[in-house]
Amino acid sequence: MTDAAADGTTDLTGLYREYGDDRLPPGQRETDRFPVLSKGETPAWNADSFAFEVWGAVDEPQSFSLATFRDLPSVTQRQDFHCVTGWSTFDCTFTGVKFAEIAARAGLDDDVSHVVFHALDGYTTNLPLGECTEPGVLFAYGYDGGDLPADHGGPIRVVTPHKYAYKGAKWVTGVEFLTEKELGYWEKRGYSDTANPWKEERYS
Ligand SMILES: Nc1nc2c(c(=O)[nH]1)N[C@H]1C(S)=C(S)[C@@H](COP(=O)(O)O)O[C@H]1N2
Ligand SMILES: [Mo]
């Protein structure tokens, strides 16, 4: 289902076949640009003091500086990006650390069922644990061979190619492991918790 190209990039642009017949999900239009969509301003951060943290129902809470995070094993993937407001951008290339890599380092309690991602702008979003280990859920710090631009969530953001993009927190400061579901910022405000673009799960 995933193809590794000669340059080591994993091609996830065929991932839609697990969910629907068309690469472009229903009700979406393709744009050649990669628009920026944030609930507020791009937050400021300091590369020397930035910390990415892992806490909650884990054996070993983790804290990474930007430098130690970038030293973790990484992957590069090409994927499509679908915003719930109706635009899709094809062929975005992200580099980062797989969700599973982070979870393995923290060691999850047996009863972990959900996660909440936290971000510098106060944004949160939630996913069931099982959805986070799907291919493509990445803590991304690179875009198109360079650093992830600040407007797109640098230094680190989450990407969720199988979900509407609001499930991917920009400026992510950490992940909290939970034994019960908690809703995130948009999920509390009427957006779908399941957010499958091919089923057009936009609102709850
Ligand atoms: N921290 C944070 N993450 C966020 C958002 C936000 O406002 N704050 N917006 C979400 C929404 S609705 C979308 S479509 C994508 C947009 O990512 P982009 O600006 O890189 O296109 O980020 C998601 N992650
Ligand atoms: Mo969005």
Residue range 53-68, pLDDT digits in tens = 999 999 999 999 999 9
Does the C-beta of 189 come closer than 6 Å to ligand 1? no
Reported confidence tier of residue 4, pLDDT bands at 50, 70, 90: low
Task: Answer yes or no: is pLDDT of 2 > 90.
Answer: no
Given a cut of 90, is residue 148 above it in pLDDT? yes
Q: What is the per-residue pLDDT for 7?
A: 80
pLDDT category of residue 3 using cuts at 50, 70 and 90 = low
Record the pTM: 0.97
At 151, give phi and psi (nearest 5°).
-65, -30
Average pLDDT of the residues of the chain: 97
Going along the chain from its start, the domains and CATH numbers come out as 3-32+50-199 (3.90.420.10)
Ligand 2 centroid vs 138 CA: distance in angstroms? 17
**C-beta 89 within 6 A of ligand 1:** no
Count the alpha carbons within 13 Å of 35 in the hemisphere toward its beta carbon: 14
Q: Which atom of ligand 1 is nearest to the CA of 120?
A: 1
Closest ligand to the CA of 140? 1
Q: How confident is the model at residue 1 (pLDDT cuts 50, 70, 90)?
A: very low
For 170, residues 6+ apart whose C-beta sits below 8 A from its C-beta are 38, 119, 121, 123, 152, 153, 157, 158
% of the chain residues with pLDDT over 70? 97
The average pLDDT across 99-126 equals: 98
Tell me: pLDDT of 162 over 50. yes
pLDDT class of 164 with cuts at 50, 70, 90: very high
pLDDT at site 5: 64
Structural tokens at position 111: 């009863």
